[in-house]
Amino acid sequence: MRVLLLGASGRIGHRITDELLDRGHTVTGVSRSGVDDIEGEDFTSVVGDATDPDQIARLAAGHDAVASALGPAGSETPDVLPEMMDAVLAGLRRADVDRLVWTGGAGGLRVAPDTLLVDTDEFPDDWEGLARAAIDALGRLREAEDIEWTYVAPAAMIEPGERTGEYRTSVDELVADDDGESYITMEDFAVAFVDELENEAFVHENVGVGY
């Protein structure tokens, strides 16, 4: 599979790249400044702006799927997320690519029938703006019926760690263990992400990933 990966230089994007390459896929990694620490004949680094639909269209052309590990960088505000979503969707349509897998946020997952994680007292205030912007972006994605999209959201806690190849999923719901802990390593999140790219098990779904 030929995959255009947006946000390839970030911590999660880097791990998704590694997982894709380990499985024999060809990756074009897009970032604002390029990726200089990944080598191999199946990887190409390009510089691109994910808020520019013309650039997305040009870069996506000839690929089988687009993957996103995008997030605000530097001085950007969380509001850039829905802007990126609009640009990516417009670019895919122009490039005639209809498969998109997007790295989302846990804040938009349910912890009870009528309660999102972001609405709980335990959710950090510092992360609320980002979570609300991610939910806005997801809302725009849900309207894209012509795109075969999947929104993959991690557990409440995600950090570097071991790749075990094990994880659980739940549509629209936060994945937590019997003690209420919600956790996933970035490495196993990348496994789940690439599994979805390959298998298309959750098309038009917001799927939570955790242990």
The full DSSP string for 75-110 is T--TTHHHHHHHHHHHHHHHHT--EEEEE--GGGSE
CA distances from 37 to 41, 45, 127, 187 (A): 13, 10, 29, 17
Q: How many domains does the chain have?
A: 1
* C-alpha dihedral, 135 to 136 to 141 to 145, nearest 10°: 110
How far apart CA 113 and CA 137 sit, in angstroms, is 21
Instruction: Provide the 10 A C-beta neighbour count for residue 38.
Output: 16
Percent of the chain at pLDDT exceeding 70:
100
In angstroms, the first-to-last Cα distance of the chain is 27
Q: What number is the average pLDDT over the span 77-97?
A: 97
In the chain, the amino acid numbered 92 is: L
The whole-number pLDDT of residue 32 equals 84
At 44, is the pLDDT very low, low, confident or very high (cuts 50, 70, 90)? very high
The domain that contains 27 carries what CATH number?
3.40.50.720
The domain in which residue 173 lies consists of 2-210
Classify residue 182 by burial, with Cβ atoms within 10 Å: 0-12, 13-18, 19+: buried
By residue count, the chain amounts to 211
At 101, is the pLDDT very low, low, confident or very high (cuts 50, 70, 90)? very high
Predicted TM-score (pTM) of this structure: 0.95
pLDDT score of 37 more than 90? no
How far apart CA 201 and CA 25 sit, in angstroms, is 19
Fill in the DSSP letter of residue 127.
G
Place of tokens 């209809």: 98
How far apart CA 83 and CA 134 sit, in angstroms, is 11
